[in-house]
Chains A and B, each alone.
Chain A
């Protein structure tokens, strides 16, 4: 069933944590909610579940109005036919694993024999087959999270709400379950909202991605589109890893904008219009889009935005190498290159030609208020894949 959230506002006391938020999730789609800690992701899905009362707005599932501030409709959570995995798991410690998973079935008045079967199947699904009789306080964090997942999947809800459901699992299990979850979600065709911190998860799972900050939607779209074309300096920084600088528009031509460079790079020339001369802009580039070569190896004249730097730091990350390169004037830049044979390997201290291809650069005008929040040097939210 489709889920519509219209102009949702939610406040705790006087503090508004969700501000005029509208989201539409098509029937059977999975929407990923991504945003920094405290931006209101949990609050949003709690409002959808009926656990928080919004100040205003509308929440509709299928054609059933669950909440409408204008006409005073608010269906209580137990009548909303939803499933939710809580960020804190919320496993009931006084019940066994089986009783935990069985609870929603009991509430839905499913027959006893059928309940046992479905509990079995749900536990099997999350890799906890045979755990029915286990006491739930004797589980590890990851196991609890899987019980919570089984409890949410044991019924067929109209909407499935997942609040960082895989955050506490090891990388391998997380990959497996993520895949399982996506497969299952598509098979059942259950409309899902998935909250995460993890950009990999967002890329791997979502039909649609919504990026939030301070209770507002910053950007929405298909995850790979958002990754490729971040709509703002914040999104570029938050979704993926970038080197980011603040700069100013130096000159404008018919088709190009010339922007002050960084380090010993004099200027960037980019296609398109980014405002009049003097406009503050942020320039970002992902570390894996930067090309490195040895001086003299290729013709510097033919390269775009090329500058000579020296390697400050080189670290092997499995199949890739992460470099930090000084490009003059106290500016460093992070680069990720392949480590397969045939690729160059640079040592600390090596001189290196750094090329920033123009079509990989993201340029975003920055509002005056945004200036203070974006740091001048390279910013990495988390290590890239």
Chain B
């Protein structure tokens, strides 16, 4: 790498090949080829398996869409996406306004309530909610039945929408909160002085000003909820409610697998994502900062008066249903000796023990999955950070032709649903003559692709904070290209690179949907283990693993943050 990125490489083919060549090959393998495979498989009559040869061109794979089951899965995906987004907007948006702009009591707590569910994996949250609100045996239903009230059924479209909304609301919360914090209070005060009621001020002034952030957040939320797999899978299957991702999964697990039809559905889902992404970029571009001055941050808080306690109760309730109750439920299932709870009065009584938890910790499958998760995520974090750095460096610190293309390719996975990426990987790596399929490595690579957009964006942001002069000074001082990167750029970016690695690590450990088509009996990870236990009917095991898995994520997150803070100070 020593001279390959020198300014002249623009003209000299050989160093160009060395600088851009490997990156283009890597990105082709990791992103372009999987997407191409999906495209190919959607339009031919046989799956791209080794030795299958070229398939015949056909439109038949899309026929499923004209059946009633097909229409239902599209319709359900839309209902789930729109419904969950609407509800998440109500949760996230109102909490954000309360935390940023009102005099709600215990504001830091309200903020915490807004962000905490971000750390609960939607798979874990869903499992917990089946424990809480399964038709007859759910803990909440036991209490409701005991008090003579109508019971809930989490296995329904409503249940899916509710659970998704709980765990995706933090995305909206964060975006809206950061926009609200920047709104100049004088705008609101001007309206108050002009005679508007506090409620009118919110609807006529505050809302329009944060609308870009809000709508951006909603589009993001719509993308994430529409492509979500575990929630509709776990809650929809018993009720025979299918969405696009769950149908793809069923096509792939039926025998014989209906791979081409799965690909076609994946393509439809990808098109939805592209459409939303397009809307999102358009919206961000038209974003008007004129009214958000970023100065004069004297925040005027709306008086809630008698509503203060109502608002606080709302926040407490949200925290309860999103975090506290789910973990309590998982705790009950894992630690009560007697597994069968048939009435509300039995809920807290009975004998408790850690036997099952410690048995699980000693379980070879669990240990293997935990080990695999750690290794796959660690490898993904290191490889990912290296690749993202390399891309950002060539993009922002070289004059190589085609450097913008690198960035564009690495943003593609934003529009690729996790299931689709998994499918593409499956076909790419069974076809390629590299013995990676079924190994942990393939999972790591898939994670690297999946998180490339976030990763490249965060590394680029941090590289752009470093003046090019700092590197140039090292070059003039006699350091070669590689040397100046290692001695100057990397040390200066250590916090940024560390944060990126931590992000990739945590996201990788949580990722289920990408891994679902790629794991083998040797390479299953924690999220897969939870899922397969659930599929196999071992609900208590799934709950216990979920609990351990969440604890593990919490510890990693805390440790990572401490480490980053330390690095910041050093």
Interface residues of A (CB under 8 A from B): 46, 49-53, 72, 74, 76-78, 80-84, 86-90, 92-94, 103-104, 107-108, 148, 151, 155, 161
Find out whether the CB atom of A74 lies under 8 angstroms from the CB atom of B7.
yes
A371 to chain B, nearest CB (A): 38
Find out whether the CB atom of B488 lies under 8 angstroms from the CB atom of A92.
yes
A-B contact pairs, 11 of them (CB 8 A): A46-B472, A51-B476, A78-B481, A80-B476, A83-B476, A90-B473, A103-B474, A103-B477, A107-B477, A148-B473, A161-B476
CA distance A83 to B474 in the complex (A): 10
CA distance A81 to B476 in the complex (A): 8
Find out whether the CB atom of A104 lies under 8 angstroms from the CB atom of B478.
yes
Find out whether the CB atom of A51 lies under 8 angstroms from the CB atom of B8.
no
Q: Which residue of A lies closest to B484 (CB)?
A: A78
Q: Which residue of B lies closest to A12 (CB)?
A: B399
Given contacts A53-B10, A92-B488, A151-B477, 4 further A-B contacts (CB under 8 A): A78-B484, A83-B477, A84-B473, A94-B492
Q: Which residue of B lies closest to A52 (CB)?
A: B7
The verdict on B479 contacting chain A, using a C-beta distance below 8 Å, is yes
The verdict on B467 contacting chain A, using a C-beta distance below 8 Å, is yes
Find out whether the CB atom of B470 lies under 8 angstroms from the CB atom of A76.
no
- A76 touching B476 in the complex, CB below 8 Å, given contacts A92-B488, A93-B492: no
Of residues 1 through 34 on chain B, the ones whose CB sits less than 8 Å from some CB of chain A are 3, 6-8, 10-12
Find out whether the CB atom of A90 lies under 8 angstroms from the CB atom of B478.
no
The verdict on B568 contacting chain A, using a C-beta distance below 8 Å, is no
CA distance A107 to B491 in the complex (A): 17
Find out whether the CB atom of B475 lies under 8 angstroms from the CB atom of A76.
yes
Q: Which residue of A lies closest to B570 (CB)?
A: A94
Interface of B is mostly: helix
Q: Which residue of A lies closest to B494 (CB)?
A: A94
Contacts of B351 in A (CB 8 A): none
CA distance A89 to B472 in the complex (A): 11
Find out whether the CB atom of B7 lies under 8 angstroms from the CB atom of A88.
no
Contacts of B7 in A (CB 8 A): 50-53, 74
Of residues 465 through 512 on chain B, the ones whose CB sits less than 8 Å from some CB of chain A are 467, 469-470, 472-481, 483-484, 487-488, 491-492
Contacts of A82 in B (CB 8 A): 476
Q: Which residue of A lies closest to B487 (CB)?
A: A103
Contacts of A93 in B (CB 8 A): 492
CA distance A93 to B6 in the complex (A): 24
A245 to chain B, nearest CB (A): 42
Interface residues of B (CB under 8 A from A): 3, 6-8, 10-12, 399, 467, 469-470, 472-481, 483-484, 487-488, 491-492
The 5 closest A-B pairs by CB, nearest first: A107-B478, A53-B7, A90-B473, A90-B469, A104-B477
B255 to chain A, nearest CB (A): 58
Find out whether the CB atom of B476 lies under 8 angstroms from the CB atom of A49.
yes
Find out whether the CB atom of B475 lies under 8 angstroms from the CB atom of A77.
yes
Find out whether the CB atom of A76 lies under 8 angstroms from the CB atom of B479.
no
Contacts of A52 in B (CB 8 A): 7
Interface centre among A78, A80, A107, A161 (most CB of B within 10 A): A78
B314 to chain A, nearest CB (A): 45
Find out whether the CB atom of A78 lies under 8 angstroms from the CB atom of B479.
yes
Contacts of B491 in A (CB 8 A): 94
A163 to chain B, nearest CB (A): 10
Interface centre among B472, B474, B492 (most CB of A within 10 A): B472
A257 to chain B, nearest CB (A): 50
Q: Which residue of A lies closest to B480 (CB)?
A: A78
A72 to chain B, nearest CB (A): 7
Find out whether the CB atom of A88 lies under 8 angstroms from the CB atom of B492.
no
Residue from A77, A94, A103 within 8 A of B472 (CB atoms): A77
Q: Which residue of B lies closest to A49 (CB)?
A: B476
CA distance A155 to B476 in the complex (A): 12
CA distance A141 to B488 in the complex (A): 20
B4 to chain A, nearest CB (A): 11
Interface centre among A49, A52, A76 (most CB of B within 10 A): A76
Contacts of B467 in A (CB 8 A): 88, 90
B518 to chain A, nearest CB (A): 39
Interface centre among A50, A52, A76, A77 (most CB of B within 10 A): A77
Contacts of B478 in A (CB 8 A): 78, 81, 104, 107-108, 155
Contacts of B12 in A (CB 8 A): 72
Find out whether the CB atom of B8 lies under 8 angstroms from the CB atom of A53.
yes
Find out whether the CB atom of B469 lies under 8 angstroms from the CB atom of A88.
yes
Contacts of A161 in B (CB 8 A): 476
Contacts of B484 in A (CB 8 A): 78
Contacts of A74 in B (CB 8 A): 6-8
Q: Which residue of B lies closest to A80 (CB)?
A: B476
Contacts of B8 in A (CB 8 A): 53, 72, 74
Q: Which residue of A lies closest to B470 (CB)?
A: A90
A196 to chain B, nearest CB (A): 18
CA distance A50 to B8 in the complex (A): 10
Q: Which residue of A lies closest to B473 (CB)?
A: A90
Q: Which residue of A lies closest to B399 (CB)?
A: A53
CA distance A88 to B10 in the complex (A): 27
Contacts of B6 in A (CB 8 A): 74, 76
Contacts of B469 in A (CB 8 A): 86-90
A82 to chain B, nearest CB (A): 6
Find out whether the CB atom of A76 lies under 8 angstroms from the CB atom of B3.
yes
Q: Which residue of B lies closest to A54 (CB)?
A: B7
Find out whether the CB atom of A86 lies under 8 angstroms from the CB atom of B475.
no
- A90 touching B492 in the complex, CB below 8 Å, given contacts A53-B8, A104-B478, A107-B479: no
Find out whether the CB atom of B11 lies under 8 angstroms from the CB atom of A86.
no
CA distance A155 to B480 in the complex (A): 17
A40 to chain B, nearest CB (A): 17
Find out whether the CB atom of A92 lies under 8 angstroms from the CB atom of B473.
yes
B398 to chain A, nearest CB (A): 11
B284 to chain A, nearest CB (A): 26
- A72 touching B472 in the complex, CB below 8 Å, given contacts A90-B467, A104-B477: no
B299 to chain A, nearest CB (A): 32
B286 to chain A, nearest CB (A): 27
Find out whether the CB atom of A77 lies under 8 angstroms from the CB atom of B488.
no
B189 to chain A, nearest CB (A): 40
